[in-house]
Amino acid sequence: MRFVVRDERGQSMKLARGFALVALALLWPALAPQGGVPAATAADKPAESALAFDTYSGYFVRNDFQPKLPSSYAVIAAERQFPKVFGVAAVMNDQSHRVPQLIFHTAVLLVVVKRAPAICTYHVDRVVAQNAVLRMYYTTEMGKPGTATFASPLIVSVPKGNYEGIEFVEDGKVVATLRINVASEDPVTN
């Protein structure tokens, strides 16, 4: 015996097809993982946590710090490492936001240097930590090119933590990954 049901337009549908759709609809929650996401994926990827950060200015990049590279990336974790990268740019009526004297007790500095025939300006969007990786997201904007070469620094402080690596995410792309070494006499660089 075969059951045939007609819809409002007179088209016939077999009841078996309807029963299959109803059964699938009832069983779907049991077949799908919780929340529609496989449990392994949700457990493997903890959420990013935003970190407080501050930016500093009023420094020049030393001429002997990686002078041949177009871009340099560094992590400065101790006060003795800072003068190996930067000097103080003293000018009249200086209103620069300087690195506090005791900052290395509670923070590390993330450094980006762009060398180009134009001044580079930076905007730090956010700094996040996920697992043992710290990520700094920032954008760059190059000024009008000239005849001189400029070394434009970005200096950002973040709280110290148990980070194994730092990723520099520039204009949406990871451009460098560094390991932190607090015991080193020299800054960690690319």
Give me the tens of pLDDT residue by residue for the chain, a chain 190 residues long. Answer: 444 445 555 555 554 455 444 444 555 455 445 544 444 455 566 788 999 999 999 999 999 999 999 999 999 999 999 999 999 988 888 889 999 989 999 999 999 999 999 999 999 999 999 988 999 999 999 999 999 999 999 999 999 988 889 999 999 999 999 987 655 556 778 7
Q: Are 137 and 127 in contact (CB under 8 A)?
A: yes
Q: How many domains, the chain?
A: 2
Residue 18 sits in the same domain as residue 56:
no
Residue 98 sits in the same domain as residue 61:
yes
Domain that residue 53 falls in: 49-189
Residues near 122 by Cβ (< 8 Å), separated by ≥ 6? 55, 112, 138, 139, 140, 141, 152, 154
Residue 16 sits in the same domain as residue 62:
no
Q: Are 169 and 134 in contact (CB under 8 A)?
A: no
Residue 70 sits in the same domain as residue 54:
yes
Residue 73 sits in the same domain as residue 131:
yes
